[in-house]
Amino acid sequence: MAYDLELARRIRERLDKLRIPEVEEKTMMGGLVFMVDDKMCVGVVGDALMCRIDPEEMHVALAREGCDRMAFTGRTMKGFVVVQPEGMKSKTNFEFWIGLALEFNPRAKSSKKPKRADLS
């Protein structure tokens, strides 16, 4: 599945403007994911914005236009939402979503496996 290159550019520019350190881009789940401090933070899936948010804030996020729970392989992912284009058309709404994901990022658990010590 192709992803929206313009949306990827908008995310990149916003993260650059906020001077977010340790950002890495990875292709996964048929889209592009922006990793912040080795943790999935925001991304692009098709023409939608994917955000990793505090699961406790899910009710607030789902009440906003264009937002829904993220489902991957038929299963909803806890703490992940997708925002359709109508929910992020305005600069204010787009920045809200990026900010919500960045606010949760320091508390999010990293899925990166710790390196095993070499016992030889």
pLDDT of amino acid 75: 85
Question: For residues 21 and 8, what is the distance between their CA atoms, to the nearest angstrom?
Answer: 17
Q: Three-state SS for 20? A: coil
pLDDT of amino acid 4: 94
Number of helices (H) and strands (E) in the chain: give both, helices first: 3, 6
pLDDT of amino acid 112: 60
Q: Three-state SS for 33? A: strand
pLDDT of amino acid 30: 80
Q: Three-state SS for 87? A: helix
Give, in order, the Cα–Cα distances in Å from 76 to each of 58, 81, 91: 12, 9, 28
Q: Which residues of the chain have pLDDT under 50?
A: none
pLDDT of amino acid 81: 97
